Amino acid sequence: MAKLYFRYGTMNSGKSLEVLRVAHNYEEQGKKVLLFTPSIDSRYGVGLVTSRIGIQREAVITKADIDMAAIAKERMPDCVMVDEAQFLSVHQVLQLTDIADDLDIPVLAYGLRADFLGKLFPGSEALFSWADKIEEIKTICWYCNRKATMNMRYKDGIPVFQGEQIHIGGNESYLPVCRRCYKEAKARFQPH
């Protein structure tokens, strides 16, 4: 029986690189991969899964009205993969369960656990509820050697703790940090 996997990590933990690596491994064996990415992430172009090390490939763009299960049923790949899965809706996560349960196709969803304030994204929350297997992709804190668990947002090099949940950016906007360094920065920079 196929499973729905949620592999999460902080910014800069190698999630997109892992998506590209696993997709390559499937295809190198002659297997078909169906790759989804959200329209909201346009850092490197819409419809592209791109790693910070420069590797990229095209993917089906997920929008609010897309039926991922219908696309998977039409294409019948050996594996379905989703990059930036935190941006999925609850309904789309349920479509991923249909792909695993009804089509017997494994689904690997990769995304952030939480935003820059430590709050779960709706897609991540749904994946934590519905995934068969949850795995953490780890990286180290930008400032110390502890495991990074938080995404710290920056503006002009200064940590910020206010704003909209979604702000698309890379190292200029976010760094992976441990909880301790996050709390220290928050105590120092958050307006009182």
Question: Could you state, in chain order, the average pLDDT of each consecutive group of 10 residues for the chain (192 residues)?
Answer: 96 90 96 90 67 79 92 98 95 97 98 94 97 97 96 90 71 87 92 64
Distance CA 99, CA 32 (A): 15
> Do 176 and 90 share a structural domain?
no
DSSP 102: H
CA distance from start to end of the chain = 52
Q: Say if 73 falls within a structural domain.
A: yes
- Which one is catalytic: 84, 136, 172, 184? 84
> Do 85 and 28 share a structural domain?
yes
pLDDT at res. 48: 73
> Do 104 and 157 share a structural domain?
no
Distance CA 23, CA 161 (A): 36
Range of the domain at 18: 4-136
> Do 163 and 95 share a structural domain?
no
> Do 157 and 97 share a structural domain?
no
Question: Do 150 and 182 meet the contact criterion of CB atoms below 8 Å apart?
Answer: yes
Distance CA 144, CA 50 (A): 27
- Residue 15: give its domain's CATH number: 3.40.50.300
> Do 167 and 121 share a structural domain?
no
> Do 40 and 125 share a structural domain?
yes
Respond yes or no: is residue 84 known to be catalytic. yes
Distance CA 152, CA 175 (A): 5
Q: How many domains does the chain have?
A: 2
Distance CA 131, CA 78 (A): 18
Distance CA 104, CA 67 (A): 17
